[in-house]
Amino acid sequence: MIYDAIETLKSGCSNYQASNPDSRAMTEPTLNYLPCADASGGHRMAYWQWGDAANPHLVMCVHGLSRQGRDFDVLARYIADQARVVCPDVAGRGQSDWLKDPLAYQIPQYAADMVTLLTHLGQQSPITTLDWVGTSMGGLIGMAIAGQPGLPLPAPVRKLVLNDVGPAVEWAAIQRIAAYLGKAGHFASLQQAADAMWAVSTSFGPHTPEQWLDLSRPMVKPVPGADDGSVMLHYDPAIAVAVRAVTAESARQGEAQLWALYDQIQAQVLILRGAESDLLRHETALAMTQRGPRARVVEFEGVGHAPTLVSPDQVSTVSDFLFV
C-alpha cells in the first residue's frame, strides 16, 4: 500500500534550513531545498515559499505531472497575505534533483517527500491549519496524504482542492499524455518553447499571450554549455518511463486503491473540473459528491485538463473555498 512506502521512505529524510527565513509577506517567493530519502541514496527537493513563514495556516500547492511549483504564482500572490503558501517542485521537476531510478517517479515517492516537507515546515514554525491545492498529479498526491489519517502530519488536512483529477483517471488521457511526455528537446528561445508547449496544452483553456509566457518561463532552463540563449524543458525526460509502464489493467488496480483513499478523506473537498476534461469524467466527479467526503464540484466552461488557476474566476473560487 501507499502508506507502507511512505513510512519506509520518510524515516530516512533529513531537515534543511530554509535559504531565506525572512518572515515578511513577499510578492516573490523564496527558493528553499530539503534533502529526502529514496532507495538510491536520496535526492534534494526544492520548494517555493510565499508569505509569512510564521503564519500557522499553511496552504500546500502541488503541481501536475510535467509542471513545477511556479505554476501557482498567481494564486499564491493572491492568498499570501492570509496564509503561508508552499509550492514544491516535485522530484524530477523544476529546481529539484532528478531521481536515479526512473521507476521511482510514482505517487509513493512523491507522497513520502511531501510528508518529509510537512514535517520540516512544522518544525520551522507551528502549523495549526493545513490546506492542500493539487492539480492533476498534485491532487493524487493530496489524496494519498489526506486519505491516510494515520500519517504523522503536523496538522490534519482541513480543506483539499482537487484540480481536475479524481480516483478514476481516464485511460485515453493517460495515453495522450504518454505520447508527448519526455520529449523535452531544445528550443532556440523561450517563445519557441512556449509555442511548442501550447501545441500540447490547448486544453488548459483560453490564455492571453502574456499569461502563457508567464506560465512558460519557469518551464524551461538554459541548455548546459550553450551560449546562444537556447533552452530546454525543466523536467527529467525519464518521468515518462513510469507513465509508459502503466497498462490498462494496472490503471484499474490503481483506481481501486485511489477510491479506497478517497473514501477515507476527512477533509472538506472541492473538485475543480474543466468542462471539456478528458482526464476527469463528469460521471467520476458526480460519484465523488456521493461518497467519502462528498465533495463539491465547480466546472469551468471552455476548459479541459486542467484549469491553470490563473484567471480571476478560478483564483477566487479556490480562495473563497479556503478562506470564507
- Let me know if residue 241 belongs to a domain: no
Number of domains making up the chain: 2
β-bridge partners, 239: none
* Residue 112 sits in the same domain as residue 192: no
* Residue 93 sits in the same domain as residue 218: no
Domain span at residue 189 reads 185-233
CATH code: domain of residue 162: 3.40.50.1820
Beta strands (DSSP E) in the chain are: 30-36, 43-50, 57-62, 84-89, 129-135, 157-163, 186-187, 220-222, 231-233, 268-274, 296-300
78-128: pLDDT as tens digits: 999 999 999 999 999 999 999 999 999 999 999 999 999 999 999 999 999
Say how far apart CA 187 and CA 142 lie, in whole Å: 33
- Let me know if residue 247 belongs to a domain: no
* Residue 73 sits in the same domain as residue 206: no
* Residue 213 sits in the same domain as residue 102: no
Q: Are 181 and 65 in contact (CB under 8 A)?
A: yes
- Let me know if residue 176 belongs to a domain: no
* Residue 59 sits in the same domain as residue 117: yes
Average pLDDT value for residue range 193-211: 94
Q: Are 269 and 132 in contact (CB under 8 A)?
A: no
Phi then psi for 151, rounded to 5 degrees? Answer: -65, 145
- Let me know if residue 150 belongs to a domain: yes
Spell out the residues 6+ positions from residue 307 whose beta carbon is closer than 8 angstroms to its own. Answer: 135, 163, 164, 204, 205, 272, 274, 300, 314
Query: Which three cell numbers, joined as nine digits, stand for 95?
Result: 529546481
State the sign of the Cα–Cα–Cα–Cα dihedral 131, 163, 48, 26.
Answer: negative
Q: Are 141 and 117 in contact (CB under 8 A)?
A: no
* Residue 86 sits in the same domain as residue 21: yes
* Residue 143 sits in the same domain as residue 261: yes
Query: Which three cell numbers, joined as nine digits, stand for 50?
Result: 510565499
Radius of gyration of the chain (CA): 18
Is residue 229 very low, low, confident or very high in pLDDT (cuts 50, 70, 90)?
Answer: confident
Phi then psi for 183, rounded to 5 degrees? Answer: -90, 70
Average pLDDT value for residue range 140-159: 96
* Residue 13 sits in the same domain as residue 79: yes
- Let me know if residue 301 belongs to a domain: yes
- Let me know if residue 178 belongs to a domain: no
Say how far apart CA 226 and CA 317 lie, in whole Å: 43
* Residue 285 sits in the same domain as residue 212: no
* Residue 61 sits in the same domain as residue 161: yes
Model pTM score: 0.92
* Residue 105 sits in the same domain as residue 34: yes
**Residue owning grid cell 528553499:** 32
- Let me know if residue 179 belongs to a domain: no
My answer on whether omega of the bond before 306 falls inside 30° of 0, hence cis, is yes
- Look at residue 26 in the predicted model and tell me its pLDDT: 55
pLDDT at 12 over 80: no
- Let me know if residue 243 belongs to a domain: no
* Residue 50 sits in the same domain as residue 164: yes
Say how far apart CA 34 and CA 56 lie, in whole Å: 20
- Look at residue 16 in the predicted model and tell me its pLDDT: 37
